Structure 1
């Protein structure tokens, strides 16, 4: 069997290549999302519905710190893809070494900060009343594993940049399966409660890190770095930071959104509304896995061909990715509009939560068929190294539209206004992204330079 290399990104037919890149990414995201989904089901049924709300409070904090690794990974991987496309292997190696150094420095610093201010952070993110104590237990244990999660998220994007989507898929599947097995052991068998759920999550991060470390030390990776590559290089750090800041800003806005949503919903509907949002949030992570997979598969193909100045292939990649993602998003939309109550009952038997969640779910996913345009559009600018438009388009949905809407609409519609904000923000962000993406294609991707 022919060994896959980064060169294939500039040679194979786009449709075939996108499927080859996106299917493993989708499977990896599916398994990871199923892990989060089943983990929530286990916690809800074995510990209680308050435990679901507690985890939902902690997630934005731990994910924000871990997103430092993802941000450095995505920013550096854009450079690596373009460098490999331009046959500049030295820059690719130096970039990877700098990614590792930055990830360790930043995540360890943030975790020390997070542990020191634990009693202030948890209430700020909605961990109030009966939610506080289980949230604190979960938070402190999970935070110890977050540096490993950050390294995994960074390493995963680099594996994709090398054109090795199957290994990236394995890296996502291993901790997911591991977490479920550890959940069963620590929660159901050993009865460790919230601490068991937290140790299962932390253990899964360690499993993922072990696999990614093996990948880069084995012959499967083209990036064989040496000690001198770890030394920070200012131009590379600047480029990683400018591109990675896009992902970091997106995750920061996500965390801020959780902060606002948990507090607004707690005031409007108490713990029941926070739990409903936690369930809908899990479905947002799970149900859209094929669309996110297309986006992940799109990134290295667009970046490599842009670096190789094969602009016709970049244009075809954009059109094909949007077409595939719209079809998949529409299928997801139909399923969620049809079975929201059945889905809710999987998580909890709490009658109040079951009564409230299906309606919220329908509102949240109402504009799902069009979100592909927004996701692919923002990803394109990041893939080709255009940090400013990538940043602005990434922040459009949640930063510019969604957050203002969740403060304005509840004044007129109460809690319903919170749920209405989701589809309205999706529509507005898609219109803006479509305009700028179309302008970029007409200006810069018409003439192919050999």
Structure 2
């Protein structure tokens, strides 16, 4: 049987429009559905339709509603034509550069919460009144009105269409029907040719048929939930915790529930990806007598990495940073981050260069226990990177307390 590496090499020798490509993807990876679902859009069919309309370049930040299409793109598109970027604004800029170099239109994929990271490049660079650069936006519509979703998505979902309208970006809902989908792509192509401006496609839940990335062999012994439990067990009841968005906060909530510990000690940053460390920083600066711990993920750190410089230069001695690095956007399909390149990329080196007093890396339970003593026992800012495996429990729940309860109880805790 061909190895994953050989399969990737052979795949790139095949013409991207060949139907053999999808067949080989299915045989080698066992991920993409073999049978076309009558109620979902095949990622392969949509990809081919995009190519037929002239879109061959892809960049963006993965989203749970787009994970099947993103998985197909990750497995199919050559590296020079696909970039998983640190944030959504970067992805827009990459499509701008691609257009300037080739005259062609690129695609940016994102969750609608990422629109905020894109407003500046869309309005001050791509807009018709500025540089007149086309880009196709494929937007996962979390918090769609009338569809139950998590609290952090409700306002964003309700206002997504209005935001695009405000920016004078036409948008359509991506249909599951192949014929209707091609008609909308034709409309988008005409828009690009005539207006040379952005065009949006909103993607509802369960639009795409199933396609999964092949599992990567584990490089490290612990999953995030195991490592997180060890970290929390080493903290004092007086330490204030700010946890990042995604699975990490969900696992932290369940750890407290399982151990009947209460939740006043931590603020769960259920939205605002990449900003948990900023929240923790200003708490630390305003509560200098209390140790503050930021629990972060590699994708979140990368999204707004400039925060490391602010933390390092302000240098609060009570700031302690733990980054769980599984090298993936694990909550939304497992697409890799740059932090997965362990031989060429170092979060600890970046933080140290930004002014952190100490940085170090751990990966086992014994190393975490010893590392927590180092982390909490010396003046900050200090960063401990925990290298972990990808994956989480299939039955992982969500917080059962409201965001308002979490905020109020945490504020009372830090004031005490």
TM-score with structure 2 setting the length: 0.29
The structure richer in helix per residue is 1
TM-score with structure 1 setting the length: 0.27
